[in-house]
Structure 1
Amino acid sequence: MSEIQTKLCLAWFIARDTVPHTTAHRYNLNSISVTPNNEVNPSITPSACACSGNGNGNGNGAPQIVYAIGQLGTDFGTEARRDSFVQAMPADTSLLEYLNQNPYEAQSLIWTLSLDATPIYAIVPVGAYASVTFDRLRAYLGDGNIERISVPGVIGGSVRLMSGQVVPVIVPEVRGMYSWSVPALVRSVMPRLSAADLTEDGLRSQIEDYLNRIYYDYRNLGTTPQERALNFSATNAFQASVAIASAAGSQRVLDSISVEKSPICRPDSDCYDVKLSFFDPENNQRSNRVFRFTVDVSDVIPVTIGQVRSWSQS
């Protein structure tokens, strides 16, 4: 059983065994009240113990793995919580400044991950290194250049936001949390690319097109293996950038993105092939160029396998 599974199971058993049976369904997580899935109130709602004694996958006892990308935000959950912050914050002090001055208050907020201004997850760090995760969230929130963040983890229940919307809770894995912007990404990959006739502006335009396709055309919750592989390809964009640079050098542009189960995979892994197809917009008689790289999504944090491969396809 993995460390994150152990954390979730211990939390569930502690809540079950240490609270009287009349209220055994309630416990606190980072100062936010927790209840089971069969109740709905302004609180976090935990899933049942995911271990089921065997530590296997969804439906078999393991927690739901997530690899989501989106924009970071905050929510107070209730008007009372919002008012408590308003009263505690000095005049002319922003929320971020207040959190930097009082880091312990970060756990009293609901940290959200949004797509198109719609919250899709609440991020609730737990465990010995929860403070490290909160520090990273505060840093992300304070950096105005950050466009997206990645949040790997497991589903740990649900929470009601101040708007009344109920969203799933991600228990994050901090070592897989990253932030980025397209300009910073382009600057980081340009020195590693050998396409002499490709300018930085040209590469930026192509990478923006690729990322925008994932953000908006292929937007997802990052729960299925295919979605996790696709989202990881946007986070670990170097391999995609190699394909994009090569295609741009031959005057091709992105046509489609697909994710398929790999026919061959190493033991105890779950491998998926991400395929990028590029076409020549000025010559439809020219064959498409397909680039493929493989992602193993068996763990909470995906990992790429092998090199980028390419071939022509009509």
Structure 2
Amino acid sequence: MRYDFNPLGDPRIKVAVLDGPVDVSHPCFDGATIEIPWGMPKTAPGSPASCHGTHIASILFGQPGSPVHGLVPCCRGLILPIFRDTGEMDVSCTQRDLARAILAAIDQGAHIVAISGGEPGTPEAADAFLVEAIGRCLEDNVLVVAAAGNDGASLAHIPAAMSGVLAVGACDLNGKPLSFSNFAEVYTDHGILAPGSEIVGAVPGGGVVSRSGTSFAVPIVAGLAARMLAETVQRGDIPNPVAVGRSLIANAVGCGEYLSDPDRCLSGRINPFQSLAARNTGARSESRFATGSGGMVMSELAEELERTEAGPGGVRAASDHSPDEVGRQDSAGLKQSVLSTSDCGCGCGGKCASDCGCGGKPASAPQKVYALGQIGYDFGTEARRDSIRQYMSTNTGPSPVELIEHLQEPENIFDVERIIWTLNLDGAPIYALMPSGAYAAEGYARIFTAYINQVIGRTTEDGANKGKAKKSPSKVTLFAVPGQICGSVRLMSGETVPVLVPVARAIAEWDVEDATARFLARFEEEAKAAGEGSGLADRIAQMADDLPPFLSDFRNLITRKYRNLGIAGRDRALNFAATSAFRTFQILSEIAGLKLILDDILVTRSPSCRAGSECYDIAIRFFREADVTSALYTFQFTLDVSDTVPVSIGELSQWRERPKALLG
């Protein structure tokens, strides 16, 4: 069957660039389809992060006839900055920042994730959230392409060294490994070389420049993979990004006469015969590629990469560094950030309004989050901390209780909004909670109340003796917070975290004692109506003993075994379903008194979904403590996560099934 093939890509294929901010007002992007979610950092001409990100993006999405002709100008681009502008050459981020961006790329439909950065380390040293994010890419068939690093040594970098990632080293246009390109045994089964010397790209504000490094080999490999996926969809087939990555490795070409150290070649060099490996214009043909004596000759790629024409902003700047020097600067490190606060990045003053554009390019919707964690606080700067502390009786700290007592005074209520409230996971902040809009004050009040309930607790009634006794204050140890990401903020530690604008009315507390009391109070009403002979009174007494440990175990298992950042659709669905199961009577009314233990939570894309929505089936399975071989109790939710606050669809389903170990 014949089909029309566009060698410049296809808009059905999306490539995510996880790098610095991108100046999409550059002439090379005029006509490109690039999505920048609201709340992303803005570009700063001349800054390292913006220069790096703009250069990388232009290699992929630069339009034909513009100063930079990209590899896949017809594919869609997704810009998710992880490196921010600090005015310093040390451009860095944390592995958790990277994990968050990878999950966002998956959530927004990326087929390929390009990461021109890394941090020295082995896969065993990778952050648990990054391991989870890379694993999610494999599950969801998303190809991750990452730089091998520019130390010129046998040194592994994260994430390139991780299983499931296509690692990219740098060679010259003749295929010779460049001296600064890292090599390591871990790369030999999933690493590949691509041109990384004097690669032409865009400069923020206009003009072009050539730079060297494994950073700039990454978009060449990502672009080649995107072209192969584009050819697949144009044939009418389903794209398989992970398989394309494996195919690139399997068809790599040896280094031949250039090889002095076998490890430097990784798995080999990109094969120009595999699909389209260079920047062709519509008039050029794949048949013009040629090889010679086992080596690789990429004449057309060389013609494109070595162009020297002037851009609209002036004459193309030549690199004033040797390839080694440039390369070492242009593979940003994934380490602890010392970054400045950034606003929405689109000239919208931090408000993230729906009509906020980014350099004339349409912005995509903000990233939705439904995360679980504890409430914390930060002052941002020592000056702000001291300005608040000067009105307190303490010269140190303050302690959480002292802070609460200070903020509860009427004259200090405005300090509630001066504090950076955070959502923490395992003691580390993952989001800064900053309500905005007309009801921002109410949002801060809700967060402050939640913090009081966490630190001091609240007095709850004993469900079995309602009106007769008061229990000691119960502390809330977990909160569910939905919201949207809008910018980032720097904490006192120097770490930068995303700003989450929460939906305050939907913040939910995982309070074991309160949930038990409310549940038992409901059954007490039924017991009164049924009379003494119904036996409900005995069941209520039994549930009063069984529910608290069950809910505690359920909460702890969710936060440990299933912990996540609440970004990907399936994670938002899981967190909401678990919160609903904890707080509502649907599941509790069925399992109370059975002494069940959580077995597993399964999240699958739902075949039943409303048009334009994203739906998941959440199956929560339990087994009886007394007999682990007995039938599993399964409860299934169907959730729509297309809005910031997920919503249940239809009724709760339940059934019993044999454990897999007993089947067959």
TM-score of the aligned structures, taking structure 1 as reference length: 0.78
171-180 or 248-257, which deviates more: 248-257
> Residue 572 of structure 2 aligns to which amino acid in structure 1?
R
Go from structure 1 to structure 2 and tell me whether the alpha carbon gap of 1:65 and 1:83 turns closer, same or farther (over 3 Å shift): same
Counterpart residue number, 1:89: 392
111-120 or 86-95, which deviates more: 86-95
Aligned equivalent of 1:111, options 392, 397, 421:
421
Alpha-carbon distance, 1:141 to partner:
2.0
What are the equivalent positions in structure 2 for 1:8-47 lying under 5 Å apart?
A: 38-40=84-86, 43-47=340-344
Cα distance between partner residues in 2 of 1:284 and 1:174? 41
Alpha-carbon distance, 1:279 to partner:
2.0
Cα distance between partner residues in 2 of 1:285 and 1:236? 27
What are the equivalent positions in structure 2 for 1:1-314 lying under 5 Å apart?
A: 38-40=84-86, 43-49=340-346, 61-90=364-393, 94-101=402-409, 102-143=412-453, 144-145=456-457, 146-192=476-522, 196=536, 197=539, 198-237=542-581, 242-250=586-594, 252-314=596-658
Go from structure 1 to structure 2 and tell me whether the alpha carbon gap of 1:253 and 1:240 turns closer, same or farther (over 3 Å shift): farther
For structure 2, list consecutive stretches of 5 or more residues without a partner in the other structure. 1-36, 47-81, 87-337, 347-351, 458-475, 527-534, 659-664
Alpha-carbon distance, 1:221 to partner:
0.8
Q: Per-residue displacement from partner, 1:106-132 (whole Å, max 9, x unpaired)?
A: 222111111121111111122121111
Number of aligned residues: 285
> Residue 243 of structure 1 aligns to which amino acid in structure 2?
I
Cα distance between partner residues in 2 of 1:240 and 1:52? 38
Alpha-carbon distance, 1:288 to partner:
1.6
Alpha-carbon distance, 1:190 to partner:
3.0
Cα distance between partner residues in 2 of 1:74 and 1:112? 5
Cα distance between partner residues in 2 of 1:109 and 1:288? 47
Cα distance between partner residues in 2 of 1:270 and 1:140? 30
For structure 1, list consecutive stretches of 5 or more residues without a partner in the other structure. 1-7, 23-35
TM-score of the aligned structures, taking structure 2 as reference length: 0.39
167-176 or 243-252, which deviates more: 243-252
Go from structure 1 to structure 2 and tell me whether the alpha carbon gap of 1:152 and 1:65 turns closer, same or farther (over 3 Å shift): same
> Residue 188 of structure 1 aligns to which amino acid in structure 2?
R
Go from structure 1 to structure 2 and tell me whether the alpha carbon gap of 1:191 and 1:98 turns closer, same or farther (over 3 Å shift): closer
Counterpart residue number, 1:31: none
Task: Tell me, yes or no, if the aligned pair for 1:37 and 1:157 is still in contact at 8 Å.
Answer: no
Go from structure 1 to structure 2 and tell me whether the alpha carbon gap of 1:140 and 1:279 turns closer, same or farther (over 3 Å shift): closer
Alpha-carbon distance, 1:252 to partner:
3.8
Q: What is the alpha-carbon root mean square deviation over aligned residues?
A: 3.3
Name the structure with the higher strand share.
1
Alpha-carbon distance, 1:74 to partner:
0.8
183-192 or 111-120, which deviates more: 183-192
Alpha-carbon distance, 1:244 to partner:
4.6
Cα distance between partner residues in 1 of 2:516 and 2:584? 12
Task: Tell me, yes or no, if the aligned pair for 2:485 and 2:501 is still in contact at 8 Å.
Answer: yes
Cα distance between partner residues in 1 of 2:556 and 2:585? 14
Alpha-carbon distance, 1:47 to partner:
4.3
Task: Say which SS state the counterpart of residue 493 (structure 2) adopts.
Answer: coil
The one of the two structures with greater contact order (alpha-carbon pairs below 8 A, sep at least 6) is: 1
Alpha-carbon distance, 1:241 to partner:
5.1
Task: Tell me, yes or no, if the aligned pair for 2:515 and 2:583 is still in contact at 8 Å.
Answer: no
Task: Tell me, yes or no, if the aligned pair for 2:481 and 2:507 is still in contact at 8 Å.
Answer: yes
Task: Tell me, yes or no, if the aligned pair for 2:421 and 2:432 is still in contact at 8 Å.
Answer: yes
Alpha-carbon distance, 1:273 to partner:
1.4
Cα distance between partner residues in 1 of 2:582 and 2:385? 41
Cα distance between partner residues in 2 of 1:284 and 1:228? 30
Structure 1 or 2, whichever has the larger Rg, is 2
